[in-house]
């Protein structure tokens, strides 16, 4: 356990050194930070967006912000925690823009789209139910920690075994199983809330 804590401290110091290099405009340090954390940020984003192309674009945007905002890193959190914070804000902005676009489409007349495409042929009740479920799911997943979202992605999207997830995230198998259980329970609660008509 002490060895793990020591390794974690070393990794955090390496991250701080890389960020310091990024602040000075060192492209090699930025590339090293990008290589180290891009897949984790991508996984974090994908769990919330559920679209590979959008998740890729958002993860790229996150690292663009990291590069431009390295001067703003205060050191109060770990570098990875700071990057996750940027990812959360970027995802939130993406979802807000998507919601606004959806409202504009609705105002422009969803009836025209419904008649043109079978993908839009939902009854008002079905659409309401889908919207309610999406809101419940979003609310439930907002309480999930970053590492739990990542673990859920690795297990259920990449289909990795618990042992490999444990190795990649440097967490015990018990912690992985506990995290997976928590996320699944939240998904079930969101589904049940939708089924019983909770807003």
What pTM was computed for the model?
0.56
Give residue-wise pLDDT tens across range 16-59: 999 999 999 888 999 899 999 999 999 899 888 888 888 888 99
Average pLDDT on 59-69 reads 91
Mean pLDDT across the chain: 79
User: What's the pLDDT score for residue 7?
Assistant: 72
Give residue-wise pLDDT tens across range 111-147: 544 544 444 455 667 667 766 766 666 666 677 788 8
| 42 closest CA partner among 54, 30, 25, 27 | 54
Rounded distance, CA 150 to CA 45, Å?
9
Rounded distance, CA 36 to CA 127, Å?
41
The residues near 173 (Cβ < 8 Å, ≥ 6 apart) are: 162, 163, 166
Q: How far is CA 140 from the centre of its chain?
A: 13
User: What's the pLDDT score for residue 21?
Assistant: 93
Burial letters 85-98, b for 16+ CB under 10 A, else e = ebbbebbeebeeee
Domains of the chain (ranges, CATH numbers): 1-120 (1.10.1740.10), 122-199 (1.10.10)
């Amino acid at each position: 356990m002490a060895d793990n804590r020591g390794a974690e401290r070393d990794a955090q110091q390496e991250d701080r050194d890389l960020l310091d290099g990024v602040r000075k405009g060192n492209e090699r340090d930025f590339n090293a930070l990008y290589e180290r954390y891009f897949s984790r940020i991508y996984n974090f984003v994908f769990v919330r967006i559920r679209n590979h192309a959008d998740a890729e674009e958002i993860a790229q945007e996150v690292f663009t912000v990291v590069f431009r905002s390295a001067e703003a890193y205060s050191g109060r959190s770990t570098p990875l925690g700071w990057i996750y914070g940027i990812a959360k804000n970027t995802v939130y902005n993406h979802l807000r823009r998507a919601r606004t676009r959806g409202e504009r489409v609705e105002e422009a007349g969803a009836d025209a789209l419904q008649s043109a495409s079978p993908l839009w042929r939902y009854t008002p009740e079905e659409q309401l139910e889908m919207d309610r479920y999406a809101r419940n799911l979003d609310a439930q997943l907002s309480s999930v920690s970053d590492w739990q979202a990542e673990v859920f992605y690795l297990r259920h999207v990449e289909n990795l075994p618990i042992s490999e997830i444990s190795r990649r995230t440097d967490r015990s198998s018990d912690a992985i199983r506990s995290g997976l259980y928590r996320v699944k329970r939240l998904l079930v609660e969101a589904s049940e809330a939708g089924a019983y008509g909770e807003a």
